[in-house]
């Protein structure tokens, strides 16, 4: 009888143990199912992208529960990484700067354009407004007569043109445009390895009330902080830009003509895998138009109050443009983002 009772007890303990094991296993499986993939953002190192990445990442992390990270890349590496799925999101494509490659990858379905992050992102050649007014400089061709205003300290026979950082496609576009305009006879191209170097060259001259000549774009805090004159160029046409593209891709080629950049909305794109792994984020990003003026305001405030702290820039935007961002997502996700903002 004792043996029988022991056997029954043993069997009961084994059954309980098995059930506990299954229960633990089930919890583990459930937890694994809840683990979401990390969403990787392309970071090609400039101010508005840092802000837009921070806003999108804050919403995706706190509102949808996905881990996020940024991957620092040059523009050519970004093109490859987005096409191959080594990053999932690019919040600012500027695809007119690599239009041939962009059209090829879109046609292959490597990634999907989800529409504008903000309206009209202009790119241009610029000088301080004070310089333009004093010397009556209006067009890029006028700079041929005034190269000495920005004399290259390493070559007194030419002026300096402050170009995009090494590795950005606009650097090669600008070289091709300067060559076509005949400006390389008058200017040496100066470029650093980061956007910060270009910022320092342009803003540094403005702070000292000195002339400077270079490339820039909007939205940026620098464009808002100082007065600038955008130099006139021939208007954009597809035929002209095809010539510029030839010069962009072949350093020996001189484009027959050059023209202004086309001002287009700045679109975002995701790798095609996002359509399956995170369709709710695809829907979010389609609706996520952050807006040109809100970015300008956020950039200026960030520059004045917490330079380089992009997580704080995201919070500033979300606290001040609630009527805008709450339209991007369902109410349950809005509540989660608000709860995160309310947490010290």
pLDDT tens track for 257-285: 999 999 989 999 999 999 999 999 999 99
Spatial separation of the C-alpha atoms in residues 159 and 256, rounded to whole Å: 24
For 41-84, how does the pLDDT look when each residue is reduced to its tens digit (9 = 90+)? Answer: 999 999 999 999 999 999 999 999 999 999 999 999 999 999 99
The structure's pTM equals 0.77
For 88-123, how does the pLDDT look when each residue is reduced to its tens digit (9 = 90+)? Answer: 999 999 998 898 899 999 999 999 999 999 998 799
CB 303 within 8 A of CB 326: no
123-249 CATH fold: D-Maltodextrin-Binding Protein; domain 2 (3.40.190)
CA atoms within 13 A on the CB side of 68: 23
- Whether the per-residue pLDDT at 33 is higher than 90: the answer is no
Q: Under CATH, which number does the domain 39-120+265-342 receive? A: 3.40.190.10
Do 123-249 and 39-120+265-342 fall under one CATH topology?
yes
Burial of 7 (0-12, 13-18, 19+ CB in 10 A): exposed
The phi, psi pair for 120, rounded to 5°, reads: 40, 90
For 158-184, how does the pLDDT look when each residue is reduced to its tens digit (9 = 90+)? Answer: 999 999 998 899 999 999 999 999 999
C-alpha distances out from residue 261 to 108, 137, 174, 181, Å: 26, 20, 10, 14
- Domain ranges within the chain, ordered by starting residue: 39-120+265-342, 123-249
* Residue 256 confidence (pLDDT): 97
For 293-323, how does the pLDDT look when each residue is reduced to its tens digit (9 = 90+)? Answer: 899 889 989 988 998 899 999 999 999 999 9
CB 120 within 8 A of CB 295: no
């Amino acid at each position: 009888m004792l043996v029988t009772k022991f056997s029954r007890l043993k069997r009961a303990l084994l059954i309980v143990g098995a059930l506990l094991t299954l229960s633990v296993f089930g919890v583990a499986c459930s937890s694994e199912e809840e683990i979401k993939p990390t969403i990787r953002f392309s970071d090609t190192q400039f101010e508005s992208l840092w802000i837009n990445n921070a806003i999108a990442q804050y919403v995706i992390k706190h509102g949808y529960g996905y881990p996020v990270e940024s991957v620092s890349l040059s523009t050519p590496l970004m093109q490859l990484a987005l096409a191959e799925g080594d990053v999932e999101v690019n919040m600012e494509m500027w695809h007119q700067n690599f239009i041939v490659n962009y059209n090829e990858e879109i046609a292959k379905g490597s990634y999907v354009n989800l529409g504008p992050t903000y309206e009209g992102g202009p790119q241009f050649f610029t000088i301080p407004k004070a310089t333009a007014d004093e010397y009556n400089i209006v067009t890029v061709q006028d700079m041929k007569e005034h190269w000495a205003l920005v004399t290259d300290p390493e070559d007194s026979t030419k002026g300096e043109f402050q170009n995009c950082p090494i590795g950005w496609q606009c650097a090669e576009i600008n070289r091709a445009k300067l060559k076509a305009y005949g400006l390389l006879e008058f200017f040496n191209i100066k470029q650093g390895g980061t956007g910060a170097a270009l910022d320092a060259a342009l803003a540094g001259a403005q702070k000292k009330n000195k002339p400077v000549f270079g490339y820039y774009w909007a939205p940026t805090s620098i464009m808002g902080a100082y007065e600038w004159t955008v130099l006139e160029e021939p208007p954009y046409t597809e035929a002209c830009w095809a010539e510029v593209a030839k010069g962009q891709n072949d350093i020996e080629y001189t484009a027959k003509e050059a023209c202004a950049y086309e001002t287009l909305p700045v679109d975002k794109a995701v790798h095609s895998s996002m359509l399956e792994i995170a369709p709710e984020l695809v829907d979010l990003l389609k609706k996520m138009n952050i807006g040109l003026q809100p970015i300008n305001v956020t950039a200026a405030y960030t520059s004045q109050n917490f330079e380089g702290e992009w997580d704080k820039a995201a919070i500033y935007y979300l606290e001040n443009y609630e009527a805008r961002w709450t339209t991007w997502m369902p109410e349950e996700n809005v509540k989660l983002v608000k709860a995160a903002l309310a947490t010290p």
